[in-house]
Structure 1
Amino acid sequence: MSDTDNCTLQTCPLSDAYVEYRPNMAGNIFYLALFAILLIGQIGAGVMYRSWSFMLPMVAGLILEVLGYLGRILLHNKPFSFDAFLIYLICLTIAPAFFTAGIYLCLGRVITVYGEEFSRLKPRTYTYLFVTCDLISLVLQAAGGAVTSIADEQSLRDTGVNIMIAGLVFQVASLVVFSVLAIEYGVRVLRGRRLHSPTQERRSSWMRRSFLLGMYIASESLEGGFHSKLANNEVALMILEGAMVSIACICLTGLHPALLVGKNWRTPQAIARDLEVEK
């Protein structure tokens, strides 16, 4: 326990707190409510479309977002509370890893629907590769959070934070590589588009284009949001973390993968069999 852990707003200056400001109640309550609504939406869509493997990481990430903003609300009246600070820091740092896992699971389905012949790798290879990267970054962030939570000395707490930053950097790099490969696949599809057919019409429907747009916006939003995770600036955090991650989650909920595959989420192999039947 540090010297400031027993401080109150009446006995210590705010500059000694874990965040050098009192988190805004209205803004943090808004984000907590928004992520709670999106959580309900994800559960409802997951049950309706039986997209279990997509729903689980999304629900986990949204629960962490809710807890993270709850921690920030607690910091409003207790800015010297290390427990509230950890809830905020760890939950909001780790949550996007689950959202990127959901995005990574989608690419294999996209490739199956639009044509494996345009892809450099098999659909399952993309999933295994990037979900593994996501797990590595999650382990680093969780390890950093654990070190920070049990540390008695400031230097060890700083080490934990640095480990968390390393996990974030690795995650950003993975997401950038994923985005490049996904865009490259899209370009190859556009260049090699086959002659119009009923199957091609199915693949090009407005619903599926809407989902692809949503997945792209979600990916770009998460890339932007990572940069403010540990910032001691509430405006930057509210815009770059809160707003960017909110946009990503809204896209992944409102423009659900069901727009691409309906109730046929299952696996890329099962989707491929369904497409063969439709031809």
Structure 2
Amino acid sequence: MDIELCTLETCSIDDAYIRYQPTIAGNGVYIALFGLLLVTQIIQCPVYRMWGFSGSMIAGLILEVLGYLGRILFHDDPFNFDYFLLNLISLSIGPVFFCAALYFLLGRIVVVYRGEDISRLRPRNYAIFFVSCDVIALILQSVGGALTSVAEDEASQSTGVNVMIAGLASQVAALTLFITLACEFAFRLRRRSQTGRPADAEERKDGFAAIREKRRWKVFLCAISLSTLVVYIRSIFRVVELNGGFDSELANDEVAFMVLEGAMISIMCICLTAMHPGIALQRRSRTKESGVELLETP
């Protein structure tokens, strides 16, 4: 019997695309949460005018809402391939945009600490390099999703999944390098501070020292660190999950999915919305006196 013609009354759940009915309550909570965060990010966008960061977060949150909507629709019809793809592609691609949001921030942190001399890359190049890596991951996952959607046999579907795994693996590799460079910068910054180098007049003049002394700046750094950790955990989970195939025990473990996918991304989005970088950095402008680009405090 064609699986598309199956219903819960005529076929076993073991014949469905995933061997369980996604919980409506749990997925409904995620839809409500991501919907609320989406509205908040849209409101924050013109307030803080951090277009790259906000655009990435908004795109990712839209995909999260669509992905969990697909899971709710999947509850009553787990044999529907369209619902399966809506869930699979949206929730696989969404975090690519959240990673891009993180990549926009490291360069700004380097600027605030005046760490150009101890940074591996120039501040602007962090975003250019890692967002380029993100684009590659996005293309691979999109192509993999497209191949899966038009697959007419198991071999073609397997090819699409493998391309998606390659995209997720490249995302993990980029995140690993990003974390390595961020940790190295933090180590070099700490070592530099231990030498007791005094802040010069230019530092005091441009206001960066005042930003670093704010409690919200420290909270912001903690939020970034936690966000990077949870999205890294999530990305590794998805590589392992997809690598085992749709019939694997992990791919059909709803608890693992809700915790290692849903909860990890929820923590990240809450951190980067409640502690929006604009709160710590504020809007950018130029002083007529020095021509130095500032991160203004309110």
Assess same fold via TM > 0.5: yes
Once the two structures are superposed, residues 93-126 of structure 1 have per-residue CA deviations (whole angstroms, 9 ceiling, x without a partner) of 0000000000001111111111122212201121
Once the two structures are superposed, residues 26-64 of structure 1 have per-residue CA deviations (whole angstroms, 9 ceiling, x without a partner) of 000000110001101111111211111111111000000
| Letter of the structure 1 residue corresponding to residue 278 of structure 2 | A
Alignment of 1:239 onto 2:259: yes
1:3 deviates by 2.1
| Letter of the structure 1 residue corresponding to residue 45 of structure 2 | G
Q: Counterpart in 2 of 1:28? A: 27
Structure with the greater alpha carbon radius of gyration: 2
Alignment of 1:114 onto 2:134: no
Alignment of 1:215 onto 2:218: no
| Letter of the structure 1 residue corresponding to residue 123 of structure 2 | P
How do residues 1-279 of structure 1 correspond to structure 2 at under 5 angstroms? 3-115=2-114, 116-193=116-193, 194-195=197-198, 198=204, 199-229=208-238, 230=242, 231-264=251-284, 273-274=293-294
8 Å CA contact retained: 2:31, 2:68: yes
With structure 1 as the length reference, what TM-score do the two structures score?
0.93
- In structure 1, the residue corresponding to 2:252 is in which secondary structure? coil
Aligned residue-pair number: 273
**Compared with structure 1, are the counterparts of its residues 214 and 272 closer, same or farther at alpha carbon in structure 2 (3 Å cutoff)?**
farther
In the aligned structure 1, how far is the partner of 2:168 from the partner of 2:213?
A: 35
8 Å CA contact retained: 1:225, 1:240: yes
Identity %: 48
| Letter of the structure 2 residue corresponding to residue 176 of structure 1 | T
8 Å CA contact retained: 1:50, 1:265: no
| Letter of the structure 2 residue corresponding to residue 244 of structure 1 | M
8 Å CA contact retained: 2:4, 2:79: yes
**Compared with structure 1, are the counterparts of its residues 272 and 146 closer, same or farther at alpha carbon in structure 2 (3 Å cutoff)?**
farther
In the aligned structure 2, how far is the partner of 1:83 from the partner of 1:157?
A: 14
8 Å CA contact retained: 2:41, 2:273: yes
1:272 deviates by 5.1
- Aligned-residue RMSD, C-alpha: 2.1
| Letter of the structure 1 residue corresponding to residue 273 of structure 2 | T
In the aligned structure 2, how far is the partner of 1:35 from the partner of 1:233?
A: 22
- In structure 1, the residue corresponding to 2:5 is in which secondary structure? coil
Q: Counterpart in 1 of 2:247? A: none
Gaps spanning 5+ residues in structure 1: where? none
- In structure 2, the residue corresponding to 1:118 is in which secondary structure? coil
- In structure 1, the residue corresponding to 2:172 is in which secondary structure? helix
Structure with greater contact order relative to length (CA < 8 Å, sep ≥ 6): 1
1:195 deviates by 2.5
Gaps spanning 5+ residues in structure 2: where? 243-250
**Compared with structure 1, are the counterparts of its residues 14 and 49 closer, same or farther at alpha carbon in structure 2 (3 Å cutoff)?**
same
- In structure 1, the residue corresponding to 2:293 is in which secondary structure? helix
8 Å CA contact retained: 1:258, 1:265: no
| Letter of the structure 2 residue corresponding to residue 14 of structure 1 | I
